Amino acid sequence: MTVKVSSIGLKGLEGYRVQVEVQVSQGTESMVIVGLPDASVKESKERVLSAVRTLDGDVTDQKIVVNLSPSEQKKNGPLFDLAMAIGLLKELDHLKEEIPQDAAFIGALSLDGTVEKVEGMLPALIAAKALGFKKVYLPLDPVIPIEMLEDLDCIIVGHIDEVLQHLAGQTLLPLDTPTQAADRSFPMPGYQKDFCHIIGHEQAKRALEIAAAGGHNVLMSGPPGCGKSLLAEAFPSILPPLSKEAQLEVISLYQLAKEQLVSPQIAPYRHPHHSASSVAIIGGGTYPKPGEISLAHRGVLFLDEMAEFTKKTLDMLRQPLETGKVTISRAHSTVTYPASFILIGAMNPCPCGYLGSNIRYCTCSPKSIQAYQNRVSGPVYDRIDILLSLRSVNLSQQTAKTETSSAIRLRVKKAQDRQFERYQEQLCNAKVPFEMLTAASPLTESQRNMIAQIAVKQQWSSRVQIKLIRLARTISDLAGESSITDESIWQAMTFRRTNHSNQSTAVREN
């Protein structure tokens, strides 16, 4: 007879059902694990056998075969220890009760039978819920927000004997403990930078408000010290708090990357240095883990001195910017991580940084300026919605009062609510399929003709024209309009013409 116990395997952030099949027969005492296990899974046999012996399980002269199905999928990590031990105890008739078909078992075992937490339990729990499991047996991990996993009974166990008692109906284990909720509580930190502290740059603030409302990418160009980095650092303060679904995704990614998360309630903000490798930015390694673009999922990725990043690294951003996810292929595995973020780029207009400046003279030759701007390729420019050209601000001309980030955040939240209501999904205008956007907000004949005429003059690609329509839809949402207005289209066009680099882009496209 063969006993089947369910567990969860991970492929990146995606989970899948693993059927742990255990069969015991008379023969030379041994335990074999098949189903493409890696080294950490193969080592489970010693932990499982030792844990079973602590419960007086007799494996003398028993040949044990464990199959991890699906057999064509590579298995990694000690997530399956608990499921193997339960299956073995059932096969040895140490467990009399039937194992529920709607229950999954995840967790590692120590030699004395203690159930220990492992990396990736939260993604496994999210996958278990999606796969239709009703209950999951798992060890205590204070970081996991169990209360956010609705319609899934998470049964906390500290020892394998507690699992047997619960299956026998002898003990009803609590789903939570008073100390857990306190340990998992994340403070809602205040933002260090606020828009009210930024002097001038009213057009840039308006552009960033639009970017936050619709999830649009922004590239800022201007001389050193004009305020590009300050604007980018203040940008997360106008983003609304994350939804429960987004919080779970962010916590899962940070756990897989073994990174510290300040608070899951606020949008992540990542600011990698331009000397970072492409693996650090995109993700990967011998054993793939999330990179900066995945850690910025549901948040902001700020690339300061964008032209100083290697061309290879910038071009690798093209797929994530288009699809919202990144696929990493290695010899032993292929994993996919979510990477839906708002890209904020900042760069100088030329190598010396003072092209077009009113206070310093540019010493760069036209050839060096062209080569510098060409470091950001045409396809990457096409994936940027808003191009901003900044100038230094005279501090003596400070306005009497500037708007706070909290006031802007309220308008952004209202605009996002309109989008969610329109698409019936957690989608923003920059990420929604274009067919869905045009079906919900069709353009008039005159508006299509207007965009086509300007696009010919400006030599804009089809992708840029689609970006303009998405941008106009967001501007209309901020204005509370149900349809795309002519005024919003004209305003969207100004955000594609304000950057001096359009001339160089046109040269490249020719």
Quickly tell me which residue has 């955040």 as its tokens: 409
Looking at residue 421, its pLDDT comes to 94
Distance of CA 402 to the CA centre of its chain: 33
Distance of CA 491 to the CA centre of its chain: 30
**Domain 2-184, second-level architecture:** 2-Layer Sandwich (3.30)
E strand spans, 359-484: 386-389
Among left, alpha and beta (phi > 0; psi -120 to 50; other), residue 180 is alpha
CA dihedral 31, 34, 38, 40 (to 10 degrees): -30
Indicate where the chain has its CATH 3.40.50.300 domain(s): 195-428
Burial class (CB in 10 A: 0-12, 13-18, 19+), 473: buried
Distance of CA 47 to the CA centre of its chain: 34
Q: Which two tokens stand for residue 16?
A: 């899948």
Looking at residue 507, its pLDDT comes to 34
The model's pTM: 0.86
CA dihedral 482, 485, 487, 488 (to 10 degrees): 70
Quickly tell me which residue has 């359009």 as its tokens: 502
Q: Which class in CATH covers the domain with range 195-428?
A: alpha beta
| Cβ-Cβ contacts under 8 Å for 158 (sequence gap 6 or more) | 114, 115, 139, 140
- What SS3 state is found at 352? coil
Backbone angles phi, psi at 185, to 5 degrees: -70, 125
pLDDT in tens, the chain (510 residues): 789 999 999 888 888 999 999 999 988 889 999 998 988 899 999 999 999 999 988 888 889 999 999 988 888 889 999 999 999 999 998 888 999 999 999 999 999 999 999 888 999 999 999 999 999 999 998 888 888 888 899 999 999 999 999 998 876 555 444 344 434 445 455 678 888 888 888 899 999 999 999 999 999 999 988 889 999 999 999 999 999 889 999 999 998 888 888 888 899 999 999 999 999 999 987 778 899 999 999 999 999 999 999 999 999 999 999 999 998 887 667 888 999 999 999 999 999 988 877 778 888 999 999 999 889 988 898 899 999 999 888 776 665 567 899 999 999 999 999 999 999 988 999 999 999 999 999 999 999 999 999 999 888 889 999 999 999 999 999 999 999 999 999 999 998 764 444 434 333 333
In DSSP terms, which residues pair with 25 in a beta bridge? 63
- What SS3 state is found at 203? helix
CA dihedral 494, 498, 503, 509 (to 10 degrees): -50
C-beta atoms surrounding 249 within 10 Å = 22
Looking at residue 183, its pLDDT comes to 43
Rg of the chain over all Cα atoms, to the nearest angstrom: 27
C-beta atoms surrounding 166 within 10 Å = 18
Looking at residue 506, its pLDDT comes to 34
Contact 18, 51 (CB under 8 A): no
Indicate where the chain has its CATH 3.30.230.10 domain(s): 2-184
Looking at residue 400, its pLDDT comes to 56
Element (H, E) at 460: none
Looking at residue 334, its pLDDT comes to 80
Rounded to 10°, the helix 81-91/44-54 angle is 50
Contact 262, 238 (CB under 8 A): no
